[in-house]
Chain A
Amino acid sequence: MVNNNEVTIKVNKLGKAYRINLKENRHQNFVNAVADILIRPLKNYQRISSFKNVSADSTGENIFWANRHISFEVYEGEVLGIIGKNGAGKTTLLKMLSRITDPTEGSIEIFGRVASLLEVGTGFNIELTGRENIFLNGTILGLSKKEIEERFDSIVEFSGIKKFLDTAVKKYSSGMKVRLAFAVAAHLEPDILIIDEVLAVGDAEFQKKCLGKMRDVTANEGRTVLFISHDMAAIKNLCTRAILLQEGSIVYEGLPGDVVDYYLNNNIAIRQNGADLLTRKRTRGDGRFIATGYSILDDKKRTIKITESGKNTIIAINYEVREAGPEPVVLLIIKNNLEQTVFTCLSRNSYHDVMKLKKAGTIYCEIPGLPLQPGEYSVDIILKYGYDFTDAVESAFTLTVEKGDFFGTGKINDDMVNGLFVYHRWRIE
């Protein structure tokens, strides 16, 4: 792509390493346990102090590179989308770009003022009024008092909370808080705007307003925007270019449509690695209660590769209890190919009792009359003890759904609209 505009961000071989906690050996007998208590403070001191001793030459098992070898340039007026799975290093990259955290290696050059919206409403104090929060939040985001005064009326109008301006923010609804926060953020007028997942909040109408504002900012005022999102539709619609991060590095770069397609296809390929989950990368969990495998079954417990709308479908999770714990919980999250959650199965709510588990076995989740439209869905498997994560395998497998007779009427049509199937009845009188 030819771009005659000036470069606004130049990232050169950027990397960020963290030191992470490794599981420590536990004391086995009484003497060791007592000794452990005595040397624990020293160990703690060394452990805590070591977190800040990370440099580009650090090696070892407990060094984790959240980002590495990242180089790219962004030009004036561009909207650069950054996509990637959770844990791919998107947020770390943005944190370095917005000067929140220092890189471990490489450099960034930025021409212009940066405003980052890693989360809207940062620094809001619920005890203060809307008016006071506009000034506090505005200055936190880098505006001067004078600049806020100049923009005050416009901020108030954009937020639509004029009536509650002198009411404490703790009396606001969550929607109002978001409106106010975004209104301040939208008036920062920086040269470079960094946005992370902001559009996940607020009602649809307000989101539309925000997207409009974002378009104005880039189209009319020639600003640069970096946009991180899981919303593939938004990336396709808003961005002029996109990069895909995977395990901390850029793996694909190009037009948003191409990058999104590459990401989705590639992601599905990863998912079809087979029924074994032991080799899969974990995003969370302490490993006390883990998923070792899965299978998709029909209601006669026969393994199937593809299921269909309306078919009784069983998701079987093979588990292993490495260390017993209270109240095991299984959570399955079924997501569509835009990474949006379609529905979830949470055993805490839907299983009649507390699950009693053996050392290893299989947990079956039966979904009678699968309400999914034809397509490919990915399933996250999350295991917990109570509210503590013990295991989380994101996109553990793909659920391929074909056309089926959900209503049992014998009619399978192509004109099915989006959404879930729901049982319903018609009556004519």
Chain B
Amino acid sequence: MAEEKLYTFIEPRKKFSFFSIKDFFRYKDLLYYMVLRDITVQYKQTILGLGWAILNPLFQIIIFSFIFGNLAGLKPDVANMPYPLFSTLAVIPWTYFSSSLSSACSSLITSSPIFTKVYFPRIIIPLTPVFSKLFDFLISMIILVGLMIYYQFYPGKNLVLVAWPLLIIIVTSAGLGFWLSALSLQYRDVRFALSFLLSVLLYAAPVAFPASLVKEKFGQQLYYWYAAYPMVGGIEGFRACFSSSSFPLEMVAISTITALLIFMSGLFYFKKLERYFADIA
């Protein structure tokens, strides 16, 4: 038996207890297996299996290309790229964002049978979809590679920065995931409001149009405020990594700050509410 025994002191938590890194690391393997479970189970008993990770964004790209590329006649001059490629570069990270957010939102509700019976750091629950949906994201990159080959369009040197906008999106998903999961466990309304919220967020994000359009129409000042929506810097930054135009440094920097704010506040709220989870589940 181990010489040094673990000592735990339990009392009513009055003050905010911050994220215990040590506790989290003791359970890092649990996060790994939860993510693995999500990935393994997701497409069980489907005909197309992983194909869905490609088909879902693909249909959206086709619709966007048809409506905005042809009918609305948007010509994304800043990006210097064909519209289908332009929308693909936004739809793929957007699909990751929205799917990880909706899973994270209901994550505490669906796993309440587990956390009302066993102790482990609850933060793992909303974090799981944030990681597991990355797998779908990687699979759907096949569309991007295919289109790039088709259009003979190859990324320039901006590509080295690709991790930055991706991290913004991941951190934002996690932060909003903390908020929404903790809120929806108490107020189940959140789950119903989410689909509405997601469509608002989708049309607000520069998915179908370039962010430069905002600058043209509303001016520089509002453009900076617009960048406070992390998905602006995330998507626009991601797109810029593949194009030859200059990297929108200011915008991505602003989005990074708000993404971190969302993450920290989400973590704070989640930790504050954590002690009630078993009682209100």
Contact = CB atoms under 8 A, between A and B. Distances in A.
Say whether A associates with B: yes
Interface of A: 18, 45, 48-49, 51-52, 55-56, 95-114, 116, 118-119, 122-123, 125, 127-128, 132, 135-136, 139-145, 191, 221-222
Contact of B30 (A56, A100, A139, A222): A139
B30 A96 contact: no
B151 interface: no
Contacts of A123: 114, 118
Interface in B1-55: 1, 5-13, 26-27, 29-30, 32-34, 36-37, 40-41, 44-45
A132 B40 contact: yes
B278 interface: yes
B41 A125 contact: yes
Contact of B278 (A95, A111, A128, A140): A95
Contacts of A144: 26, 29
Given A107-B11, A128-B40, A51 B276 contact: yes
B80 interface: no
A392 B169 CA distance: 53
Contact of B279 (A51, A110, A119, A191): A51
A128 B33 CA distance: 11
A222 B1 contact: yes
Contact of B118 (A52, A96, A110, A141): A141
11 contacts: A45-B187, A99-B119, A100-B116, A110-B8, A125-B41, A127-B45, A132-B37, A139-B33, A144-B29, A145-B33, A191-B1
B119 A116 contact: yes
A119 B117 contact: yes
B186 interface: yes
Nearest to A139: B30
A56 B12 contact: yes
B115 interface: yes
B120 interface: yes
B276 A116 contact: no
A102 B12 contact: yes
B10 A49 contact: no
Contacts of B30: 139-140
Given A109-B8, A112-B5, A122-B114, A100 B29 contact: no
A108 B9 contact: yes
Contact of B186 (A49, A142, A145): A49
B111 to A, nearest CB: 8
B33 A136 contact: yes
A221 B2 CA distance: 12
Interface string B130-163: 0000000000000000000000000000000000
Contacts of A48: 186-187, 280
Contacts of A18: 279
Interface of B: 1, 5-13, 26-27, 29-30, 32-34, 36-37, 40-41, 44-45, 113-120, 186-187, 273, 275-276, 278-280
Given A100-B118, A123-B118, A135 B33 contact: yes
B117 A52 contact: no
Nearest to B113: A122
Contacts of B1: 191, 221-222
CB-CB nearest 8 A-B residue pairs: A139-B30, A99-B119, A107-B11, A108-B10, A101-B278, A145-B29, A102-B275, A110-B8
A343 to B, nearest CB: 31
Contacts of A191: 1, 5-6
Contact of A128 (B41, B116, B120): B41
A111 B9 CA distance: 9
**Which residue of B36, B119, B186 has the most chain A CB atoms within 10 A of its CB atom?**
B119
Contacts of A110: 6-10
Given A128-B37, A144-B26, 11 more contacts: A48-B280, A95-B278, A98-B119, A99-B119, A103-B11, A110-B8, A111-B6, A111-B7, A127-B44, A132-B40, A221-B1
A144 B120 CA distance: 12
A106 B40 CA distance: 43
Contact of B280 (A52, A55, A143): A52
Given A100-B119, A132-B37, A135-B33, A52 B8 contact: no
Contacts of B119: 98-100, 114, 116, 142
A402 B200 CA distance: 75
A107 B40 contact: no
A127 B38 CA distance: 10
B196 to A, nearest CB: 17
Given A56-B12, A102-B13, A128-B40, A145 B117 contact: no
A45 B116 CA distance: 23
**Which residue of B26, B40, B273 has the most chain A CB atoms within 10 A of its CB atom?**
B40
B8 A122 contact: no
Nearest to B42: A127
A109 B6 contact: no
A117 to B, nearest CB: 9
Given A51-B279, A113-B6, A145-B32, A105 B118 contact: no
A129 to B, nearest CB: 9
Contacts of A102: 10, 12-13, 275-276
Given A52-B273, A52-B280, A95-B278, A114 B8 contact: yes
A52 B276 contact: yes
